[in-house]
Structures are given as C-alpha cells and as structure tokens.
Chains A and B, each alone.
Chain A
Amino acid sequence: MDAIIIENVSKSYGEALAVADVSLSIRVGELFGLIGPDGAGKTTLFKILVTLLLPDAGRATVVGRDVVRDYKDLRQRVGYMPGRFSLYPDLSVQENLAFFATVFGTTIRQNYHLIQEIYSQLEPFKNRRAGQLSGGMKQKLALCCALIHKPEVLFLDEPTTGVDAVSRKEFWDMLRKLNERGLTTLVSTPYMDEADRCDRIAFMQTGRVLAVDQPSVITNRFRKPLFAVRAADTYRLIQDLRQAPFTESCYSFGEFLHLTVRSGGVTDLQIGQYLLDKNHRNIEIQPIQPGIEDTFMALMNQPEPTA
C-alpha cells in the first residue's frame, strides 16, 4: 500500500521549472530518501505534499487525501519539519511544544510517549527560549513539534544540512527508531552518503527524478568499468587522467581518484603503463564497485533521465 502517491506533478516559479513531471510512490512504513543537491526541487515537492503550495499540474495524495481538495484533513495527518528553523524563537522549548500540540487539538501528555526519547534530552532546557538553543537542540525540538500530534507520515526537509558527521549519524539512528514503530518517513538530503540509511531513494536533479529504487539496486545500474587510482602527485594525476584517451570521467573521491573508462576495455595494467609514461610515482590502481555518489554522477551526466 502506498502512503504517498505523486503523479506527474510539476511546479514553476515564473520561468524557472522547479519540479518537472515527477511521479513517485512511497509505501506505508517506508523510510524514503529524496536525494539531490540544492535546486533539485526537493523543497518544492515537500511543500506541495504538505499542502503549502499548489502544483501547476499533476496530482498527489498523502494517506489517501488529495493535496489540493483534502488539504484540511491531510494537514492533521502529517508532520512537517521544514529545512529552515521555523519554531517560535521567543517561546520556550516547552511553550513551543505545547503550542503545536494545542494547534492540532492534543496535549503533550497525551502523546508524550511518541517523543519521550528525544524530548528527554531537551527537558533540562525546557524553559529556555527556542531561539537560544544550539543547532542540534533546535533540530530535536523541531522534530518533537512535528511528532506531537501523532502524524501518520513524517516529512523532513534536509534535517541534516550543515550538521556535522557525528550528529548526522545520530539523527539517522533516531529516524530509524521512529520508522521501526511504523512511521512512514519522507526525508530529503543533499548528502549522498545518507542514501544507504533509507529503504528506498529517489535521486533528484533540476526538478527531475533520475532514478528510484533501493540504494543497492541503484548502484547496480552503474555499468561502466570503474577504477580507484592514486599516485604521489594528485593534482597532476587528475590532469593526466582527464586527458587520457580511455577516460570517460575522472573525479576525486577521498584519497583516491575514481576513473570511469570508456566501455570496450582498458585494463588496470594499461592505465598503469600510461601513468608510468607520464612519470607518475607510487601508482596504485584497483577495479572497484561503484558507490551511491558514482552512480548519481553518472546519472547526472546522461542527457536524458532514464527513471
């Protein structure tokens, strides 16, 4: 069963096409990731789904409610955490939470069990104004406020942007726990490495969906031979590899370069010989399996999306 159904949704701002004919289904109970850089259309799509924007074309439902026709009913059933901090900075932690509970016709006490684990970390600061909290605590409070009315679907728009690598891991652990209790979750992120934390993902780029599937299935679509290459002088290595006749693309990946070669075959030995001829030293070359980021970049480079 599908919790969210998106059918041919488009949205433009003036001449800029933000979401271009997007169709997607998110199943009940899924932790689904919308992965893409700034400008991919993630936020616009979120706003359409939580009834804050009207689509120009297409239709969408969330838990069976139409995003245009049934917007009032729909709003009761979803929790939404926008990308920008949107709580009341002049209200205290507790006042913010009580406010959101009241707006949705419930009380903190009634649904406390839903947020207990997260809110307990905030309780020592419950009288502090929300505007005075650190980034990590603001994020936790925003999550509590989005959960307090017991939503059926949770929408999190870039909850980890600008957050350090340790806190990002903790946040995803928290999401997984919530999800295990049956909460359908749609989360967007520009960090490719977070794709692996999702049941399924959709890659988005300039308003379009490039691919939808389980992370491991998506990486299996990468067909071209891929090598990790390293040598003493990285700067020169990139220049030389990009000019090599066998190279399709060459990008930095941590301490290695990832080299995609044209299909039809060059071996690691031949690459090695090419680099030796260019006087590189300490050369290391190994064939590797593509990761999420390799795959996204390959899909980005295709002229027409094949979603």
Chain B
Amino acid sequence: MGKAVITNQLTKKFGDFVATNAITFDVEQGEIFGFLGANGAGKTTAMRMLCGLLKPSSGQASVAGFDVYRQSEKIKQNIGYMSQRFSLYEDLTVRENIRFYGGIYGLRRAEIPAKTDQILAKLGIESVANSLVAALPLGWKQKLAFSVALLHEPKIVFLDEPTGGVDPITRRQFWDLIYEAAHQGTTVFVTTHYMDEAEYCNRVSIMVDGRMKALDTPAGLKTAYGVDSMDAVFQILARGTSTK
C-alpha cells in the first residue's frame, strides 16, 4: 500500500515560536489516522502545512504524492477538507452547496446532478434538498459537509474536529461515514477532542508542545502507558504542558 502522507522533520516557526517542531510520520493509504493534542499543541499549523495552505519553515512533506513546497495547488485538488468552523455556505441551499463545491473541486458539469442525487439519497435528506443549509440541524450539516469534502473522490480527507457539539447519535453516524470512506480506500486524517473517537482510529498520534510525543495503535498506546483508555493516555502525555 502507498503512503497518503509522508513527513520528515516538518517544522514551522512563527518568529521565535516553534509551532510545529520537526515532526516525522507516515500515514498509510486507507488508514484512519487520529491527530490529537491539547489546544495550542501545533495541530492546526501542521494540518495547514499538509493541506498546502502554509509553507513549512523546514523539513519535508508530501501529501497524496505531492510535495508541500512545490505542488501545493496539486495537493488542494487531491484532498478533501472539512472543519467545524468552515464547511458549507449557510445562505445556499443543500443542492447549491453541492453544485458549488462540485465546481470548485473540478467536477464536470454533467457529473454534478448524479453526484447530488447520490449524496441526498445516501444521507436521506432529499426532502431538504432545496432548503437553505442554515435551516438544517448541525448534525445534518456535518454529514453533508463530509460528503461534500468527498465529492471529487480525494485520496485523503482532512477532518478538523468534525463532531464538536453534535449529539451522541449523530456523532456515531458521522463515524459510520468515516468507516465507510476508509473501507473504500480513502485515507482519513482526523482531529478530535472526544477521546472515545481516538479509539476508532487505526493509529493515533499525540502532539505536545509542537512535537509528536506518541504514535501507535490505540491498543499499543494503552499498553505502552499501562492504562485502559485513550483518555488516560492523553491525560498522561498532555498533562504538565501549558495550555496558555
């Protein structure tokens, strides 16, 4: 299997501050990769570099086979991205959002209607196809945003706290979608503050103060730290670091 992400000593400095400090890791194609860390640990900076949005200060990285320095536009075309803060346009309808993102992601005009029907049917939201996204419950928006991020069938999708604030059933339905995407070969790179969700990942990394302090399967991490939950692992690793 190929690698969806390869990094080597990837670093980003803002002035004197080292936000991401020489992180080295690989993500396998089709893997669900959990990217954990306390607030301010450097996750967002690292993700922005991997998505081609921010030039690293030093080190190497490639995503979906493209180099983050030279091929950032290629990266953007070949990844999906969804965050809690930014996903869909509230003032467009469900259908309009899909059409808009279809265009952005370079789908051919003729492909979009079929894709739209497919998404509506899969999520069971045909009845609100022409409603403004603003009127949808948060959980529906999140599931729709995820489907939209996969419109162009990217090799890898980046999810930045995709489930924050949603109810526990919707949160699990969201993970059903993640499993399904991974099962079909899409690599899923996900951040979360829910430690039970860390258990759903094939492997989990934990960032502390800009460095990658741990990387293993959930079972491997629990064994290594002699505890029985990912929450406990996280408390051990992330404690003692400032959350300033």
Residues of A that sit less than 8 Å from B by CB? 36-40, 134-137, 161-170, 190-192, 205, 234-235, 238, 251-255, 293, 296-297, 300-301
Contact = CB atoms under 8 A, between A and B. Distances in A.
A47 B167 CA distance: 21
Given A167-B38, A235-B180, 16 more contacts: A37-B166, A134-B244, A161-B164, A162-B161, A162-B193, A164-B41, A165-B231, A166-B241, A190-B166, A191-B194, A205-B167, A235-B182, A251-B169, A253-B196, A254-B199, A301-B169
B42 interface: no
Contacts of A134: 39-40, 243-244
Contacts of B239: 166
Given A38-B138, A39-B137, A134-B39, A166 B169 contact: no
Q: Which of B39, B179, B195, B229 has the most CB of A within 10 A?
A: B39
Contacts of A137: 244
Contact of A190 (B165, B179, B180, B238): B165
Contacts of A297: 168-169
A37 B138 contact: yes
A300 B38 contact: no
A263 to B, nearest CB: 20
B39 A37 contact: no
B244 A136 contact: yes
B160 to A, nearest CB: 11
A238 B37 CA distance: 28
Interface string B125-144: 00000000000011100000
Nearest to A242: B176
Contacts of B218: 255
Contacts of A163: 39, 193
B168 A164 contact: no
B170 interface: yes
A214 B166 CA distance: 23
Given A164-B238, A205-B167, A255-B218, A39 B231 contact: no
Contacts of A238: 176, 179
Interface residues on B, range: 35 or more
B213 interface: no
B89 interface: no
B231 A164 contact: no
B172 interface: yes
B193 A164 contact: yes
11 contacts: A136-B243, A164-B37, A164-B238, A166-B238, A190-B167, A191-B194, A234-B179, A235-B180, A251-B169, A252-B196, A300-B167
B40 to A, nearest CB: 6
Contacts of B194: 191
Interface in B3-32: none
A162 B43 CA distance: 13
A136 B242 CA distance: 9
A69 B165 CA distance: 34
B200 A252 contact: yes
B33 interface: no
A254 B38 contact: no
Contacts of A234: 179, 200
B146 to A, nearest CB: 16
A136 B40 CA distance: 9
A274 to B, nearest CB: 20
A135 B179 contact: no
Interface string B208-244: 0000000000110000000001110011001101011
B168 A254 contact: no
B48 interface: no
Given A161-B164, A165-B238, A300 B243 contact: no
- Choose among B84, B169, B243 the residue with the greatest number of A CB atoms under 10 Å from its CB: B243
Contacts of A252: 172, 175-176, 196, 200
Contact of A165 (B84, B138, B234): B234
Nearest to A251: B172
